Chain A
Amino acid sequence: MGTLSLNQRAALLSVLMLVVGLLIWEAAIPAQKAVEELTEYEILTGAGAPKAGVPPPSQVFAKAWEQLSNPFYDAGPNDKGIGIQIGYSIYRVLTGYFLAALIAIPFGFLIGMSQVAYKAFNPFIQVLRPISPLAWMPLALFIIGDSEASAIFVIFICSIWPMLINTAFGVAGVREDWVNVARTHELGPIKTAFTVILPAAAPTILTGMRISIGIAWLVIVAAEMLVGGTGIGYYVWNEWNNLDLTSVVFSILVIGVVGMLLDAMFGVLQRRVTYAE
């Protein structure tokens, strides 16, 4: 044990917990009786039909294998591969998210540069920020009319606030010494913004972007359950309507893994711009 590094020991423990957890889960699900073992009476009363129940992990793995071996099939509106559904969700999240970044970062920059603007905009931001993004949905559907665009709008509105606030906060908090360095080197406002303020505020801005992508991924599932049609959120709801809990559990896991990957991507970016003082 003593020869293993901290990370190796942690990984070993993780695997152990996973195995134990799966075994408990597997053991906790009562096996369904095979049809041959039923009495004639039971068969007549319908007990032979498969009962809906939480599936054991073995079934989920079988489902995962089946789905992941052919993720992009398309057999009509209610039967598309998991890859296609995830693709739709990611497309919506990224579209809404980058539109939000396009507005939030430059705007946050300007707010952060001016104390007056910071104070003037703050009350509006504080009121709009805690609104559940889904509360915008009816209004979005009415004004925009298109369910696809409305889902993107909901992503946009939920990811804009953390980026806006963090950008403004990061820019406002840039050390005056560094700004003075720019001033004594006669840098113009644009040059100062890009060579001093942006790199100085970048870690805070990236933190905001990372929070936003997390929220956006949380919200897309709920939004797609509402608007329907395509996407991982719709998939979950559709499988619930089919009472296919195996698919529901499988898609829950997929949502988690994709969310983790999105976060990890921003984690890498964040580490790249972080500096030690």
Chain B
Amino acid sequence: MKPYLSIEKLTQRFPDGAGGELTVFENASFGVEKGEFVVILGHSGCGKSTIMNILAGLADPTSGAVIMDGQEVKGPSLDRGVVFQNYSLLPWLTTLKNVMFGVKARHPEWTKSQVEEHATKFLAMVGLEGDVIHRKPSQLSGGMRQRVSIARAFANHPKLLLLDEPFGALDALTRGTIQDELLKIWGQMEQTVFMITHDIDEAILLADRILLMTNGPNARVAESVEITIPRPRNRTEIVEHPNYYAIRNHLVQFLGKRSKELAGQPTEAGQTNAPETVRIDLADPAEDPEDKRPALKAVNS
């Protein structure tokens, strides 16, 4: 049985400017289940954004395929909503009109009042109500703009929501509140989400599963780490969960050391490169001790 979203042997090569080719990533294969929140972590240059653009349909891979809900992804579609790092709001439209722009595209048959009502509802879900929604994006703070962008994406009920470092340009405090907003709205909508970030704490707070990428070139998705912390999660409480630091240390170890060690190994043809599943759960004694060792060591040191 194939997962809801299946990325199969995705390879991306660019000309390196010297007549040769640069392989960004090769034979990347992984899956995302329906309703799952998957975060991809990796250093810059490992091709996270390229994978995102391919999933969005804004770029074409050199080879390989993306299959969602039994259909191959070709070109952009309303089924895959995108929240860009730089918000990508249309600056000549008001906040409300920006969200209505998306809703109108999704439901061309709706009347204007239906569209407006739907848009207003989703803006309220991210905490934007009253006069604010009639302001232009230039009159909003960065955090508010990203809320608008999130409201626009959720309002369209895409089958897959792609978040491209959505909080990268925000300060830490704003980031925290919007992460909470995102968790809240995600909890209500059962939305499948695929998100890029390089913030480890953000990834643990939000994700069901974290995909770890090795450094580029020839990057690959090396591990799939399950986040064994129950929902609903809360930023102040998850740090007290026994698994939190074990998972965190594993991720830090990977990004700090192993992403380099595993990098730059060209893969043989035919190898699928499926990520190794890592499950760190200190609360579960049935766990294979072999898998636990690095995490425990990190905790004790």
* Docked CA distance A275–B92 (Å): 5
User: Would you list which residues of chain B between 53 and 96 have a CB under 8 Å from chain A?
Assistant: 56-58, 75-78, 80-82, 84, 86, 88, 90-92
Identify which of B56, B75, B101, B138 contacts A275 (C-beta below 8 A).
B138
CB of B279 closer than 8 Å to a CB of A: no
Is there contact, CB below 8 Å, between B138 and A276?
Answer: yes
CB of A40 closer than 8 Å to a CB of B: no
Is there contact, CB below 8 Å, between A200 and B78?
Answer: no
Chain B residues positioned under 8 Å from A276 (CB to CB): 91, 136, 138
* Stretch of A57-65, A125-133, A175-183 that contacts chain B: A175-183
* Stretch of A31-39, A93-101, A184-192, A229-237 that contacts chain B: A184-192
Chain A residues positioned under 8 Å from B75 (CB to CB): 183
CB of B105 closer than 8 Å to a CB of A: yes
Q: Known: A195-B101, A275-B136, A275-B138. Is A184-B56 also a contact (CB below 8 A)?
A: yes
B81 closest partner in A (C-beta)? A184
CB of B102 closer than 8 Å to a CB of A: yes
Chain B residues positioned under 8 Å from A184 (CB to CB): 56-58, 76-78, 80-82
Is there contact, CB below 8 Å, between B56 and A177?
Answer: no
Q: Kindly name the residue among B58, B90, B101 whose own CB sees the greatest number of chain A CB atoms within 10 A.
A: B90
Chain A residues positioned under 8 Å from B57 (CB to CB): 183-184
Chain A residues positioned under 8 Å from B84 (CB to CB): 177, 180
Identify which of B77, B90, B136 contacts A181 (C-beta below 8 A).
B90
* Docked CA distance A195–B77 (Å): 18
Is there contact, CB below 8 Å, between A183 and B92?
Answer: no
- Shortest CB-to-CB span from B113 to chain A, Å, is 20
CB of A196 closer than 8 Å to a CB of B: yes
User: Would you list which residues of chain B between 101 and 125 have a CB under 8 Å from chain A?
Assistant: 101-102, 105-106
CB of A259 closer than 8 Å to a CB of B: no
* Docked CA distance A230–B56 (Å): 62
- Shortest CB-to-CB span from A170 to chain B, Å, is 13
B56 closest partner in A (C-beta)? A184
Identify which of B81, B88, B138 contacts A180 (C-beta below 8 A).
B88
Q: Known: A184-B76, A276-B136, A276-B138. Is A177-B86 also a contact (CB below 8 A)?
A: yes
Identify which of B76, B91, B102, B136 contacts A183 (C-beta below 8 A).
B76
- Shortest CB-to-CB span from B170 to chain A, Å, is 17
- Shortest CB-to-CB span from A59 to chain B, Å, is 51
- Shortest CB-to-CB span from B118 to chain A, Å, is 15
Q: Kindly name the residue among A180, A181, A184, A276 whose own CB sees the greatest number of chain B CB atoms within 10 A.
A: A184
CB of A66 closer than 8 Å to a CB of B: no
Q: Known: A185-B102, A276-B136. Is A180-B90 also a contact (CB below 8 A)?
A: no
Is there contact, CB below 8 Å, between B105 and A185?
Answer: yes
- Shortest CB-to-CB span from B115 to chain A, Å, is 13
B93 closest partner in A (C-beta)? A199
Q: Known: A183-B58, A195-B101. Is A178-B90 also a contact (CB below 8 A)?
A: yes
- Shortest CB-to-CB span from A36 to chain B, Å, is 71
What 1/0 flags go to A195-217 for Cβ under 8 Å of B? 11001101000000000000000
Is there contact, CB below 8 Å, between B77 and A186?
Answer: yes
User: Would you list which residues of chain A between 5 and 29 have a CB under 8 Å from chain B?
Assistant: none
User: Would you list which residues of chain B between 20 and 63 have a CB under 8 Å from chain A?
Assistant: 56-58
Identify which of A186, A196, A202, A273 contacts B90 (C-beta below 8 A).
A196
Chain B residues positioned under 8 Å from A187 (CB to CB): 105
Is there contact, CB below 8 Å, between B88 and A178?
Answer: yes
* Docked CA distance A276–B136 (Å): 8
Identify which of A186, A199, A273 contacts B76 (C-beta below 8 A).
A186
Identify which of A180, A186, A273, A277 contacts B78 (C-beta below 8 A).
A186
* Docked CA distance A120–B250 (Å): 56
B106 closest partner in A (C-beta)? A185
* Docked CA distance A183–B105 (Å): 11
Chain A residues positioned under 8 Å from B56 (CB to CB): 184
- Shortest CB-to-CB span from A192 to chain B, Å, is 11
Is there contact, CB below 8 Å, between B90 and A199?
Answer: yes
Chain A residues positioned under 8 Å from B82 (CB to CB): 180, 184
Chain B residues positioned under 8 Å from A199 (CB to CB): 90, 92
Is there contact, CB below 8 Å, between A180 and B92?
Answer: no
B84 closest partner in A (C-beta)? A177
- Shortest CB-to-CB span from B158 to chain A, Å, is 9
Q: Which 10 A-B pairs have the closest CB atoms?
A: A276-B138, A185-B105, A275-B92, A177-B88, A183-B76, A275-B91, A184-B76, A199-B92, A184-B82, A186-B78
14 residue pairs of the A-B complex, CB under 8 angstroms, read A177-B84, A177-B86, A177-B88, A178-B88, A180-B82, A180-B88, A183-B75, A186-B105, A195-B101, A199-B90, A200-B92, A273-B92, A276-B138, A277-B138
Contacts beyond the supplied A180-B84, A185-B101: 18 A-B pairs with Cβ under 8 Å: A177-B84, A178-B90, A180-B58, A180-B76, A180-B82, A180-B88, A181-B88, A183-B58, A183-B76, A184-B56, A184-B57, A184-B77, A184-B82, A186-B76, A195-B101, A202-B92, A273-B92, A275-B136
Chain B residues engaging chain A, CB cutoff 8 angstroms = 56-58, 75-78, 80-82, 84, 86, 88, 90-92, 101-102, 105-106, 136, 138
